[in-house]
């Protein structure tokens, strides 16, 4: 870390719970011309689990948005400033260590920033864990060994109501007993780099 440069901060945004997403905001990160280019700036977080196992998760560039509906059409507007975020799903209860390494132009940028957090004990939610292929190789199952039947359909893209269409559709699908959907990311819906000159400069409104 260069003399006088403020040390990076890791700010936990919500309580850490077993098999639930915990999110962190990363502040005081060096500025670059393109935060989507890992050759310019790369942030990797190493999570050390209570069992001693480690998992590496990359951070990502994030912008919050607020949606609205007017005349049957959705609009989104940015709220706040873009920033670095980190998301992780704890698979064990107990104490965790988080070590953030920053690389600029392929070189290490100072010492890793380290923080600790706790994940409360207790029973894991039913059907929790990463999806995997069962040992019989005949079906999918969750990490706790329960069979996973995916019942759903292709829900490719919305109309003018945008994500409000999905509020309606997903609620109806859930009522019908469905638990899965396929959503396209195409030029006319949710495409991150489908505009001209957008390669490695992603649409944050569509990502949101």
Q: What is the CATH number of the domain that holds 95?
A: 2.60.40.10
Of 105, 117, 123, 107, the closest CA to residue 32 belongs to 105
Residue 175 has a pLDDT of: 97
Give the number of other CB atoms < 10 A from CB of residue 96. 20
pLDDT of residue 195: 87
pLDDT at 1: 47
The pTM (predicted TM-score) of the whole model is: 0.89
What are φ and ψ of residue 147, in 5° steps?
Answer: -65, 145
| Domains: count for the chain | 2
- 189 and 141 within one domain: no
- What are the mean pLDDT values of the chain's consecutive 10-residue runs (208 residues total)? 70 95 96 94 97 98 97 96 97 96 86 93 80 93 89 94 97 96 92 87 92
190 neighbors 205 (Cβ within 8 angstroms): no
Cα-based angle 130, 183, 141 (whole degrees, multiple of 5) = 25
88 and 53 belong to one structural domain:
yes
Question: How far from the centroid of its chain's Cα atoms is residue 57's Cα?
Answer: 10
Backbone angles phi, psi at 205, to 5 degrees: -65, -40
Please report which helix (H) or strand (E) contains residue 56, including its range: strand 54-58
What is the extent of the structural domain holding 187? 150-208
């Amino acid at each position: 870390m260069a003399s006088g440069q403020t040390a990076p901060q890791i700010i936990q945004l919500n309580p850490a719970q077993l098999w639930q997403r915990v999110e962190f905001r990363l502040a005081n990160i060096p500025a670059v011309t393109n935060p989507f280019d890992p050759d310019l700036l790369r942030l990797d977080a190493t999570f050390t689990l209570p069992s001693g196992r480690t998992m590496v998760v990359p951070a990502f560039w994030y912008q919050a948005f607020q949606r609205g509906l007017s005349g049957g059409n959705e609009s989104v507007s940015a709220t706040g400033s873009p920033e670095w975020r980190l998301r992780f799903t704890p698979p064990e209860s107990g104490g965790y260590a988080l070590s953030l390494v920053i690389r600029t132009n392929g070189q290490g940028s100072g010492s890793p920033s380290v923080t600790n957090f706790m994940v409360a004990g207790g029973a894991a939610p039913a059907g929790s864990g990463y999806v995997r292929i069962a040992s019989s190789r005949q079906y999918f199952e969750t990490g706790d060994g329960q069979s996973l039947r995916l019942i759903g359909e292709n829900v490719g893209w919305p109309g003018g109501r945008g994500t409000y269409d999905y509020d309606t559709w997903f609620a109806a699908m859930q009522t019908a007993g469905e638990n899965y959907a396929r959503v396209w990311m195409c030029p006319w819906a949710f495409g991150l780099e489908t505009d001209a000159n957008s390669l490695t400069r992603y649409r944050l409104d569509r990502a949101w």
